[in-house]
Each structure stands twice: as structure tokens, then as C-alpha cells.
């Protein structure tokens, strides 16, 4: 029999669901910022799966997937039964959700870059958003064995799963990283979506992705964690929502929380796009334009390209072609840039490109910490 599981004010005995709140920060006008928490505690022992959403406040489908995953597991705890527990925080960035904005008003930059990194100490005292992220991280690492962080990408994006690089160095040996990578790969594959590995190590750390929700859980806490990118932002996309809930249920089956998917949940991957290439891929933002103008895409999301293929045209306000933008890599499009106007250096797409790198890499590889 499992024990009572407490997360914030949510306290669930074995076989129960409990809703509550996790304190984030006090507000100048009184009261406090709170994160909604649902705990579904199984009657039998097993791993604890965390599901988070809404760290970017305009990513509606990620919030819906987390909410609906909570409902799915709550039904399962009284029917099929759960071995272990599920903790769901569907809105990690309430300030952003209130404004339908990616950021919060506790800081002007990405709130998903402030989670702890034990190998990168800073001298500046933590400000509000970092303190909020740290409180959530501490609650997560107190109980989590697995994490699925639910996001969305550009308008028109296809669903996919991001698998972070597994770093080793002062806090983790290469052998430990290899073992962690095996469970990470199991989790990413179980979701049933195309899997992209994150940027190469130098770019990964340079963008502070080891301080994202999934990156910190994986590389600081050693918890298998993935980022599910579930279609485009701003509105709930039903196909992506269904694929996300099905993928999370399949991950629960893969790691022994459930014997089989709950009734009414489709099989993972059904309705989701198949990877259009057979080689391993990583995330890449580009290609980028070198001359300003108005953008006309040539390639649809999910279509494959080879290095040198035309991806888009840039035209003048009168419609005359300024330049043609070519792909730098073999791969396929996962999303296209929004909007019409582009300036020099603007990326026109997000891509899954051929990845010849390793999943497990030394923390300092090629100046990764610089």
C-alpha cells in the first residue's frame, strides 16, 4: 500500500484524487500567486509521474492535455487501478495565462529558463521568476520519478517530442548518464510522437535549456523528462490534445503505473504524424533570411527537404523576388515562421535535421559552459 502523497495543499491518500495549490509568490496587492495541483495516488506502490503545462502562458493545448491527463488518471484510480501516483500542474505560469502571453510579468524573458542548475552557479541573487521556478522544482524533485512537460510550438506546427541531451561532468558520471539516457529514450518513444533530440551540447547550454523544466529535471535531478510539443499555440487543437493524452497514458503503461491504457483513450501515435525520415534528427531553427522583405513559404509542415532545397522566397512589397531561402540540412519542417515581414537574420522555419551527434555528452564539450 502506498502512503499519503502531499504536494502543496493537495493531499491524496491511496486510491484518491486531491486538488490543491502550490504557493508561488506573494502579491503586492495582497494574496498570493498559486499553481493548481492535482494528485492522483494509486493504491499500489510504483513510480510517480509528473505532468506539467502552461509554463508559457499562450500554449493552450499543453494546459488542456495536462488537465485531461489528470481526469484520465483520476478515472483510472477507481477502475483499472494505478501502481504509483500522478501529479499534475496544468498551469505553471498563471501570470502568462492571464494575459495569453508566453512570458510572465515577473520577468520579461522566458520563464522556462530559471529552473536550478547545480553545475552553473551565479553571483546574482534570484529574482521572482527564478524563485517561483525553484519552489516548483523542489516540489517536483521531492516525489517525481518521471516528467512530461506539455508545450506547443508555432501556429501550424506538427506535434513532436523533444529529448534533451544528457550531460555528464561533476555531478554525473558517463555511465550514470548512459543509464539515464535509456529511461529517457523509453519515455520519449512511449509518447508515440516523432522524437527530436535537442540542440548540440554547446548550443543547448548556451540557450540555458538545461534550466528548462524538463532540462533541469533531467540534468540536475536525474529524472527522465521530456518536452511534448503539441501543435500550435493560442487555441486548443483537438487532434494534438488527444495525441498528448494518449501519449501520457502510454508512458504510464510503459513504466508500470497502468497495465493498459484507460478506457476511451486511443493508442499512442494514432492520429499523430509519422516521422517522414528514418535517420535520427535534432531540433534546428532555420534557415534564416539574409535580406529583408515579405515571406512566401514553399514547403509545408511535415515535408522533407535536402540541403540546398528551396524552403521559401522573400519578395518586395511589389511582389518581385528578392532572394530564395535554401535549407542548410537534410530533414523536414516541424513548423513555419509566423507573419509576413522578415528582416535579415530572421528564421523562416523550425526543422528536424539529421543528427550525427551523441545523446550523452560531456558537460563542457566544445565550450558548452561558456
332: domain CATH number is 2.40.50.100
Whether the CB-CB separation of 238 and 225 falls below 8 Å is answered with no
325 shares a domain with 201: no
State mean pLDDT over 292-305: 97
Whether the CB-CB separation of 78 and 113 falls below 8 Å is answered with no
With respect to residue 25, please indicate whether it lies within any of the assigned structural domains.
Answer: yes
**Across the chain, what does the average pLDDT equal?**
94
pLDDT computed for residue 123 by the predictor: 67
With respect to residue 346, please indicate whether it lies within any of the assigned structural domains.
Answer: yes
With respect to residue 29, please indicate whether it lies within any of the assigned structural domains.
Answer: yes
234 shares a domain with 287: no
pLDDT computed for residue 121 by the predictor: 63
Query: Taken in order 171, 175, 179, 182, is the CA torsion positive or negative?
Result: positive
Measured CA to CA in angstroms, residue 351 lies from 187, 203, 299 at distances of 22, 15, 11
Q: How many helices (H) and strands (E) does the chain have?
A: 7, 20
66 shares a domain with 156: yes
287 shares a domain with 175: no
Contacts by 107-113 with C-beta closer than 8 Å and gap 24+? 110/56, 111/55, 111/56, 112/55, 112/56, 112/212, 112/213, 113/207, 113/208, 113/209, 113/211, 113/212
147 shares a domain with 56: yes
331 shares a domain with 215: no
With respect to residue 260, please indicate whether it lies within any of the assigned structural domains.
Answer: no
Confidence band of 77 (pLDDT split at 50, 70, 90): confident
Residue 323 has pLDDT above 50, yes or no: yes
Domain boundary among 254, 289, 307: 254
99 shares a domain with 178: yes
pLDDT computed for residue 365 by the predictor: 52
294 shares a domain with 236: no
79 shares a domain with 36: yes
> How many structural domains are present in the chain?
2
With respect to residue 193, please indicate whether it lies within any of the assigned structural domains.
Answer: yes
187 shares a domain with 92: yes
Q: What is the pLDDT of residues 5-37, one digit of tens each?
A: 999 999 999 999 999 999 999 999 999 999 999
With respect to residue 361, please indicate whether it lies within any of the assigned structural domains.
Answer: no
188 shares a domain with 67: yes
With respect to residue 61, please indicate whether it lies within any of the assigned structural domains.
Answer: yes
The span from the CA of 150 to the CA of 60, in Å, is: 10
Residue 212 DSSP label: S
Domain CATH code at residue 100: 3.40.630.10
pTM above 0.75, yes or no: yes
Q: What is the pLDDT of residues 262-296, one digit of tens each?
A: 888 888 877 788 999 999 999 999 999 999 999 99
203 shares a domain with 296: no
State mean pLDDT over 211-216: 97
Q: Which of 302, 285, 301 is nearest to 348 (CA)?
A: 285
Secondary-structure percent of the chain, ordered helix, strand, coil, rounded to 5: 25, 30, 45
With respect to residue 111, please indicate whether it lies within any of the assigned structural domains.
Answer: yes
Question: Grid coordinates standing for 114?
Answer: 530559471
Strand residues in the chain grouped as ranges (E): 5-7, 10-12, 16-26, 32-41, 44-53, 83-89, 146-153, 160-163, 166-168, 195-197, 225-232, 281-285, 293-297, 304-305, 310-315, 321-326, 331-336, 341-342, 349-354, 360-362
State mean pLDDT over 162-189: 96
% of the chain exceeding 70 in pLDDT: 96
Domain with 343 in it: 281-354
Amino acid at each position: 500500500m502506498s502512503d499519503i502523497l502531499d504536494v502543496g495543499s493537495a493531499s491524496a491518500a491511496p486510491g484518491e484524487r486531491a486538488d490543491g495549490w502550490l504557493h508561488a509568490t506573494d502579491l503586492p496587492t495582497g494574496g498570493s500567486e498559486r499553481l493548481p495541483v492535482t494528485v492522483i495516488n494509486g493504491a499500489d506502490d510504483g513510480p510517480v509521474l509528473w505532468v506539467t503545462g502552461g509554463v508559457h502562458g499562450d500554449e493552450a493545448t499543453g494546459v488542456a492535455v495536462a488537465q485531461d491527463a489528470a481526469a484520465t488518471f483520476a478515472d483510472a484510480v477507481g477502475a483499472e487501478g494505478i501502481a504509483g501516483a500522478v501529479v499534475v500542474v496544468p498551469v505553471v505560469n498563471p501570470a502568462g495565462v492571464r494575459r495569453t502571453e508566453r512570458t510572465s510579468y515577473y520577468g520579461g524573458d522566458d520563464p522556462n529558463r530559471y529552473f536550478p542548475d547545480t553545475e552553473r552557479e551565479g553571483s546574482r541573487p534570484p529574482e521572482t521568476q527564478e524563485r517561483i521556478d525553484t519552489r516548483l522544482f523542489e516540489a517536483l524533485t521531492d516525489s517525481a520519478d518521471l516528467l512530461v512537460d506539455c508545450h506547443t510550438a508555432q501556429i501550424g506546427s506538427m506535434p513532436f517530442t523533444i529529448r534533451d541531451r544528457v550531460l555528464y561532468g561533476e555531478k554525473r558520471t558517463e555511465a550514470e548518464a548512459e543509464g539515464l539516457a535509456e529511461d529517457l529514450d523509453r519515455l520519449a518513444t512511449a509518447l508515440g510522437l516523432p522524437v527530436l533530440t535537442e540542440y548540440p551540447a554547446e548550443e543547448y547550454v548556451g540557450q540555458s535549456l538545461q534550466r528548462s523544466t524538463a532540462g533541469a529535471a533531467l540534468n540536475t535531478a536525474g529524472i527522465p523528462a521530456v518536452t511534448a510539443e503539441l501543435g500550435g499555440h493560442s487555441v486548443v487543437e483537438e487532434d494534438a490534445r488527444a495525441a498528448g493524452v494518449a501519449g501520457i497514458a502510454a508512458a504510464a503503461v510503459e513504466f508500470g503505473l497502468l497495465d493498459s491504457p484507460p478506457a476511451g483513450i486511443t493508442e499512442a501515435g494514432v492520429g499523430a504524424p509519422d516521422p517522414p525520415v528514418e535517420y535520427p534528427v535534432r531540433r534546428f531553427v532555420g534557415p534564416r533570411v539574409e535580406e529583408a522583405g515579405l515571406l512566401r513559404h514553399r514547403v509545408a509542415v511535415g515535408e522533407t527537404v535536402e540541403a540546398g532545397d528551396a524552403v521559401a522566397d522573400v519578395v518586395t512589397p511589389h511582389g518581385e523576388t528578392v532572394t530564395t531561402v535554401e535549407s542548410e540540412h537534410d530533414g523536414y519542417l516541424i513548423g513555419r515562421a509566423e507573419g509576413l515581414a522578415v528582416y535579415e537574420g530572421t528564421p523562416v522555419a523550425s526543422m528536424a535535421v539529421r543528427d550525427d551527434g551523441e545523446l550523452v555528452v560531456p558537460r563542457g564539450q566544445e565550450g558548452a559552459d561558456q
